[in-house]
A and B are shown apart, each in its own frame.
Chain A
């Protein structure tokens, strides 16, 4: 009798713990849900030298992979947004490229981005300083942006003043 009771009790505790763990991971997800929404706005707040379809690409292992597909088929000024998360796709077709690690920001990638007018976004420390264009940083529980204007300009991209208003700029 008593054993049964304890088994039942421990089962309950274990289940509750599992539920709590699930809730915790959901809280961590939120950061990447926000980043997904930011990327959607970036597509709207960036001006490319000529009109092109919006393709948001991802390289590297990032929890963003789970959320980015939400953007597929959304529209910006009537134009549909596409998402490309396969590693082998070329950079040329991307309008926004999210790099999960600074190591992925090779001179080759930077050069292709400059020539192909691709907005390079990342969320690792020092991404903007290392030649990335827009970097997410977490400060006081909010997402902040660090923008390196030099590579943005050399890729002939224009970022909206609305975006720059809340960003920290590296000149």
Chain B
């Protein structure tokens, strides 16, 4: 009985193969010609970046991804005139990027934007750079040499089954150039009114036939922003320096090794948080800047077995040390990631892997800011499996799940199912349902924050952590359609509906009579953080790419998002329980034009519109922003450029964080000049 069934299944499988194969062969030539004519619409710069073998070009991989994906290329980066990572992310639909001050940004995908946005996983070459203290990224502390970046992959929507907890609303992977691609020298330097000075040196060398090494150092000095009145500066100047080494080696035909080391030092100034004392003046505003060093080492080994089987091992170690007037931290973070993929019978491709992380930290507490316990070690373990099933020639199903065990919350599961259908070579439709979780972080578990209530001088609050904080989670439904209208024009659209549960909220628990701060003479509000809220969101994301000619490319993206949440107003909320509705712009638009005026002169423009928001009771009006860049190549290895940023306003606010950065800042118009020389 069983064998009859087996035969029937096998026969069915073979039939599919037999019927598919001749069709494939016939299509092959037509496809080859078709994909050649697709290449013809690329610009010269795009074309010369393409690889000869290996994965198909990025646009093609993105096209076949059953998820909302967007790629920022090296050319996009060079021609944007941007000088920091978060500014680049403004190109991608679905991303919310708002500058708080010189060194701080709120960056999030699909809403929930905040200085401490906790629903976005960010990686550099596969190593997570989000900070386990806040489950967010301190963007000012990451200053990679932008010329080292090959591309930035932006994935919106949950991808917890691949990238683990915190890839709730998206995952960003910053892919740096292989050392083999950066032989020789590069010197770049620039300066201007806001980006006071920045620059770097890179040198790469071939060590043997199959091994390359490069090193780079770079630095940036940034001017302060201006206060809300537009009169005084907000003292948020600072500087950061970074060194990076990368070694790439083809150990054998089947083994590939990558080793990377990065050290970054920063001194970010600014009025951050007031220190409380039990005696007058109780609090003061001063330069509470952050001084820190972080270093990481990572190794990535890939082994190719027979029969398209592949094993990937990634190990990373990151050490972070910083100090502020209020606090000091030292943390070691170890990460081991193993991933194996292999074709199974017929049309299945199985990928499985495991992840193990140790996070060991230690804090020096003060009256204002403390963490209890002050020393803690987390052990997090994850196990995942994903099956890619080719149901039909043009229909692919992906089923995946990850189970993880976290020190704080125990077991979690992050399943996901996705389907992509290609009814015609110019159309791709995909759909996905997935669940993902955001972990309570070290801060939510153990913080003790004692500060004046924003805007008040005689009322204080004490926020105590919640040991019972559980994971926030989302169930997301997504639909996408990619339409290649012609060889020159393509359109990518996504609809999503997200249901979030157990979202963090902050309530006023009452006045505890200063039991927690004995001797303190002023009233203290007791705050409690918990999984109090439910939120729903839905939205539309559009991206269009139009290659007008070889010399002119246009790119547009649009994001529309709405939130549906209810809050019980009888509760004494401390922070706005409907924050998502007001903090996230309902509409945002980005339009870029990249034009070659002559073979040596480039003129690039970037126009953005962001809808109005209200953050911490501060109204931030909608704005239109324009950046212009003029690039000139006077000689073969030389590039000069002039950039004007935020040209339409003298200054404008983009975000606010009254709780931790008591002085609100505005982003100013800026001009800068840059030179790049290859040798």
Q: Does B517 contact A (CB under 8 A)?
A: no
Query: B54 contacts A141, CB within 8 Å?
Result: yes
Instruction: Convert A126-149 into 0s and 1s, putting 1 for each residue whose CB lies closer than 8 angstroms to a CB of B.
Output: 000000000000101111000000
Q: Does A104 contact B (CB under 8 A)?
A: no
B257–chain A nearest beta-carbon distance, Å:
16
Residue in contact with B51 in the complex, picked from A37, A44, A142, A162, CB distance below 8 Å: A142
Query: A22 contacts B28, CB within 8 Å?
Result: yes
Query: A30 contacts B52, CB within 8 Å?
Result: yes
Tell me whether A40 and B40 are in contact in the complex, defined as CB-CB below 8 angstroms, given that A8-B11, A9-B10, A141-B52 are known contacts: yes
Q: Does B456 contact A (CB under 8 A)?
A: no
A113–chain B nearest beta-carbon distance, Å:
23
Q: Name the segment of B29-37, B130-138, B194-202, B405-413 touching the other chain.
A: B29-37
Q: B621 — which chain A residues lie within 8 A by C-beta?
A: none
Q: Does A12 contact B (CB under 8 A)?
A: yes
A42–chain B nearest beta-carbon distance, Å:
10
Tell me whether A140 and B36 are in contact in the complex, defined as CB-CB below 8 angstroms, given that A31-B52, A37-B42, A41-B44 are known contacts: no
Interface centre among B596, B599, B633 (most CB of A within 10 A): B599
Residue of A nearest to B48 (CB): A166
Query: A37 contacts B47, CB within 8 Å?
Result: yes
Q: Does B515 contact A (CB under 8 A)?
A: no
Report the Cα distance A72→B229, complex, angstroms: 63
Report the Cα distance A1→B31, complex, angstroms: 40
Q: A28 — which chain B residues lie within 8 A by C-beta?
A: 53
Report the Cα distance A70→B37, complex, angstroms: 6
Q: B29 — which chain A residues lie within 8 A by C-beta?
A: 66
A88–chain B nearest beta-carbon distance, Å:
25
Q: Does B181 contact A (CB under 8 A)?
A: yes
Q: Does A164 contact B (CB under 8 A)?
A: yes
A26–chain B nearest beta-carbon distance, Å:
7
Instruction: Convert A95-124 into 0s and 1s, putting 1 for each residue whose CB lies closer than 8 angstroms to a CB of B.
Output: 000000000000000000000000000000
Q: B637 — which chain A residues lie within 8 A by C-beta?
A: 165
Report the Cα distance A123→B346, complex, angstroms: 39
Report the Cα distance A9→B54, complex, angstroms: 30
Q: B10 — which chain A residues lie within 8 A by C-beta?
A: 5, 8-9, 12
Q: Does B21 contact A (CB under 8 A)?
A: yes
Q: Name the segment of B12-20, B83-91, B562-570 touching the other chain.
A: B12-20
Report the Cα distance A41→B7, complex, angstroms: 54
Q: A163 — which chain B residues lie within 8 A by C-beta?
A: 44
Residue of A nearest to B308 (CB): A20
Report the Cα distance A45→B346, complex, angstroms: 47
Query: B52 contacts A70, CB within 8 Å?
Result: no
Q: A44 — which chain B residues lie within 8 A by C-beta?
A: 550
Q: A37 — which chain B residues lie within 8 A by C-beta?
A: 36, 39-40, 42, 47
Q: B636 — which chain A residues lie within 8 A by C-beta?
A: 161, 164-165
Q: Does B50 contact A (CB under 8 A)?
A: yes
Q: Does A154 contact B (CB under 8 A)?
A: no
Instruction: Convert A1-33 into 0s and 1s, putting 1 for each residue whose CB lies closer than 8 angstroms to a CB of B.
Output: 100110011011001101100100011111101
Residue in contact with A34 in the complex, picked from B11, B47, B599, CB distance below 8 Å: B47
Q: A18 — which chain B residues lie within 8 A by C-beta?
A: 21
Residue of A nearest to B55 (CB): A27
Report the Cα distance A142→B181, complex, angstroms: 9
Residue in contact with B40 in the complex, picked from A31, A69, A74, CB distance below 8 Å: A74
Residue in contact with A33 in the complex, picked from B14, B32, B180, CB distance below 8 Å: B32
Query: B24 contacts A19, CB within 8 Å?
Result: yes
Report the Cα distance A41→B48, complex, angstroms: 11
Interface centre among B6, B31, B37 (most CB of A within 10 A): B37
Residue of B nearest to A67 (CB): B36
Q: Does A160 contact B (CB under 8 A)?
A: yes
Query: B48 contacts A30, CB within 8 Å?
Result: no
Question: Which residues in chain B, 559-608, are within 8 Å of chain A measured between CB atoms?
Answer: 596, 599-600
Residue of A nearest to B634 (CB): A161
B254–chain A nearest beta-carbon distance, Å:
16
Residue in contact with B25 in the complex, picked from A22, A66, A71, A143, CB distance below 8 Å: A22
Tell me whether A15 and B36 are in contact in the complex, defined as CB-CB below 8 angstroms, given that A5-B3, A143-B52, A165-B636 are known contacts: no
A167–chain B nearest beta-carbon distance, Å:
9
Query: B7 contacts A34, CB within 8 Å?
Result: no
Residue in contact with B17 in the complex, picked from A16, A38, A142, A143, CB distance below 8 Å: A16
Instruction: Convert A33-67 into 0s and 1s, putting 1 for each residue whose CB lies closer than 8 angstroms to a CB of B.
Output: 11011101100110000000000000000000011
Tell me whether A138 and B52 are in contact in the complex, defined as CB-CB below 8 angstroms, given that A22-B24, A161-B633 are known contacts: yes
Report the Cα distance A96→B468, complex, angstroms: 73
Query: A162 contacts B599, CB within 8 Å?
Result: yes
Query: A45 contacts B33, CB within 8 Å?
Result: no
Tell me whether A34 and B39 are in contact in the complex, defined as CB-CB below 8 angstroms, given that A12-B10, A22-B24 are known contacts: yes
Tell me whether A36 and B39 are in contact in the complex, defined as CB-CB below 8 angstroms, given that A12-B17, A143-B52 are known contacts: yes
B389–chain A nearest beta-carbon distance, Å:
15
Query: B28 contacts A26, CB within 8 Å?
Result: yes
A139–chain B nearest beta-carbon distance, Å:
9
Q: A162 — which chain B residues lie within 8 A by C-beta?
A: 44, 596, 599-600, 633
Q: B51 — which chain A residues lie within 8 A by C-beta?
A: 141-142
Query: A34 contacts B14, CB within 8 Å?
Result: no
Residue of A nearest to B345 (CB): A12
A152–chain B nearest beta-carbon distance, Å:
15
B82–chain A nearest beta-carbon distance, Å:
22
Report the Cα distance A164→B48, complex, angstroms: 12
Report the Cα distance A19→B14, complex, angstroms: 12
Residue of A nearest to B31 (CB): A26
Tell me whether A30 and B53 are in contact in the complex, defined as CB-CB below 8 angstroms, given that A67-B32, A162-B44 are known contacts: yes
B350–chain A nearest beta-carbon distance, Å:
16
Question: Which residues in chain B, 595-652, are within 8 Å of chain A measured between CB atoms?
Answer: 596, 599-600, 633, 636-637
Q: A12 — which chain B residues lie within 8 A by C-beta?
A: 10, 13-14, 17, 346
Query: A26 contacts B32, CB within 8 Å?
Result: yes
Report the Cα distance A36→B24, complex, angstroms: 23
Query: A41 contacts B550, CB within 8 Å?
Result: yes
B339–chain A nearest beta-carbon distance, Å:
22
Tell me whether A29 and B599 are in contact in the complex, defined as CB-CB below 8 angstroms, given that A12-B346, A143-B48 are known contacts: no
Report the Cα distance A138→B50, complex, angstroms: 12
Q: B6 — which chain A residues lie within 8 A by C-beta?
A: 5
Known interface pairs A16-B346, A30-B53, A40-B40; 13 further A-B residue pairs with C-beta atoms within 8 A, sorted by A's residue number: A5-B6, A8-B7, A15-B17, A18-B21, A19-B21, A19-B24, A28-B53, A33-B36, A34-B39, A141-B54, A143-B48, A143-B50, A165-B633
Q: List 15 A-B contacts (CB under 8 A).
A: A1-B3, A4-B7, A5-B6, A11-B14, A12-B10, A12-B14, A19-B21, A22-B24, A26-B31, A33-B35, A37-B36, A40-B40, A67-B36, A70-B37, A141-B53
Rank and list the top 4 A-B pairs by shortest CB-CB distance, nearest first.
Answer: A37-B39, A162-B599, A33-B36, A160-B599
